[in-house]
Chain A
Amino acid sequence: MLDVAVAYNRYKYLGHEFLTWLWFMMETDKAGLKFPDSDSIDLTVGNRIVLENSRHNRDETVTIKGDGAGLEEGVVALQKGALVTEISLAAKTPEAEWRFNLRGESLNITSFKPPEKSSESEEGDTEQRVLGQISQVERIENILHHLYRQFIRIRLSGDWSKTVVPAMRRWMIQSAS
């Protein structure tokens, strides 16, 4: 394996491509996203998307904030060559909703908000609360792991350049028009 510090910097782009692909999939082929087991999950973009354009050694950052973070402004940035570097996501099941941000370069999960707790669970003993919180994080980590595994397998296959990238380019053009 490569040196970890070298690999972190060299493969940042892979995390940015993952988030850009994830956004594309959420917009065009939600049913194509693979979730663990038989989880019925609705994954949507939350209230923040950050895009960065590092082409030609010129860093340009576009941050889109607000509920239903705008596709249009983001797509314009994509068209100029930017990629998604950070995205806020909401994962919903019929019973619960989790909100969190995902950073592309580190795959760190930040601002993670588990489903609202009942007052009973708030008052439970520490062990119960810890176990409850661990199971919430595990659920989201598992979902993200499945999505990343799906992405990396496509990314390493011939389908990426033959099918996926042309489809993403078409989406960028069509979404802006």
Chain B
Amino acid sequence: MGLLSATLSLARYRVDGRIPDPFMDNVRERLKNFMIREIDNDPAEKSSGWTCFESPYEPDFDKANLVFGTHLVFSLRIDKKQIPAKVLNKHLHAAVAKRLTQTGRNSLTRNEKQELRDEVARRLYVRIPATPNTYEVVWNYEGGSLWFFSTQKAANEELESLFSKTFRLSIIRLFPYTEADLTCGLTDDQKDLLQQLQPTVFKKEGTHA
């Protein structure tokens, strides 16, 4: 469902604020600062960061083309590892048995078991490759609008958090209230009315409509 797919899905944002000059140097620098970190052969479970639109698996923001017409185009990449539950249970079972033998005890406390579970998971995460997901970002900087090519809640939350950290700009998702308040050119009186608005009752009680 990405930008060049035959079928697209997107969430829309309003972005306010300016990036200091030299603009493109700063954009590249900030994207580099929060670039995706590879976590294969690493005990981390998840990694998220920016990557290049045209080379999402080998990002190089010094060389990448970021400007398409009047838009900046780059991608958010979220890498995640998932250990199958049965695999985790098998390794945890073996680790518990080993610990009990070493300590000569009959059982472990809840906390000890949880610590062991975390330790086993970390060991397995090193051996499991992360699954990467990339989602394109199309940012019309001058127009203050941004499209994010995913409507998944978790991906949108990651975008909002990472974008704010990276560019230190305000990013607000457009939905019925914000679209009305920020983009429809309402007067102050209309904005007051918007805040006081109540749902319409189309169906009168005891009638068909």
A residues near B (Cβ < 8 Å) are 1-2, 4, 7-8, 10-15, 17-18, 20, 55, 78-81, 83, 103-114, 126-127, 129-131, 133-134, 137, 141, 145, 148-149, 152-153, 155-156, 160-161, 165, 168-170, 172-173, 176
Contacts and interface: CB of A to CB of B under 8 A. Distances in A.
Given A14-B177, A149-B185, 16 more contacts: A2-B195, A11-B197, A13-B199, A106-B175, A107-B179, A108-B12, A109-B10, A112-B7, A126-B54, A130-B4, A134-B68, A137-B138, A141-B12, A156-B193, A156-B194, A176-B208
A1 B138 CA distance: 25
Nearest to B8: A112
Contacts of A145: 179, 183
Contacts of B190: 153, 156
Given A4-B178, A8-B177, A107 B12 contact: yes
Contact of A78 (B7, B9, B54, B209): B209
A129 B4 contact: yes
10 tightest Cβ-Cβ pairs between the two chains A and B: A11-B177, A81-B203, A172-B209, A15-B176, A14-B176, A7-B177, A110-B9, A13-B199, A112-B8, A149-B184
12 contacts: A14-B197, A17-B200, A79-B203, A79-B209, A104-B176, A106-B173, A130-B68, A134-B138, A137-B8, A137-B10, A145-B183, A156-B194
A107 B65 contact: no
B136 to A, nearest CB: 9
Contacts of A141: 12, 147
B10 A55 contact: no
Contacts of B54: 126
A32 to B, nearest CB: 18
B178 A152 contact: no
A105 B175 CA distance: 7
A1 to B, nearest CB: 6
A108 B197 contact: no
B6 A113 contact: yes
